[in-house]
Amino acid sequence: MGTALKFVTVIKDDATFRSLVLDAPKTCLCIVDCYSEIWGPCEALSKKLQSISTELIDYDVKFIRAQAESIELLSEQAGRSMPLFLLFKGGEEAGRIKGANPLQLSEMIREVATKRQSV
């Protein structure tokens, strides 16, 4: 099923979702590709996500794929075919993008993400 992206963490349970997304550092923006087991992750955006992750190397962002059926908070998305990207910052939802819209996703990430401090 599709391409495995090295910069993307795959989550399939509540405990891992809580640990990596809800309990992430307050400056970290978590971009969650919320997918259904039936339809799988949004492969149409895989190359664009890789491009976005490269462009945002100076930002504190984490890309995650989460299976909706396995995570209580995302269960309302189970069985849906439309891609859904949720943005979380400080444990709270900071935005959402419905559909495969890489330009809107990139713009929203830039608005919400925190630039890393130079060392």
With contact defined as beta carbons under 8 Å apart, do 16 and 74 qualify?
A: no
pLDDT for the residue numbered 14: 94
Instruction: Compute the distance between CA of residue 15 and CA of residue 21 in angstroms, rounded to an integer.
Output: 10
Look at residue 4 and tell me whether its pLDDT is greater than 70.
Answer: no
Poorest-confidence range of 26-30, 57-61, 81-85? 81-85
Per the confidence metrics, is the pTM higher than 0.85? no
Tell me: the pLDDT tens digits for 98-109?
Answer: 888 888 998 999
Segments making up each domain of the chain, as ranges: 8-112
Homologous superfamily of 8-112: Glutaredoxin (3.40.30.10)
Residues of the chain with pLDDT > 90, as a percent, come to 39
Burial 107-119 (b: 16+ CB within 10 A, else e): ebbeebbeeeeee
Q: Are 89 and 30 in contact (CB under 8 A)?
A: yes
Question: Using CA atoms, how far apart are residues 50 and 6, in angstroms rounded to an integer?
Answer: 9
What does the mean pLDDT of the chain come to? 84
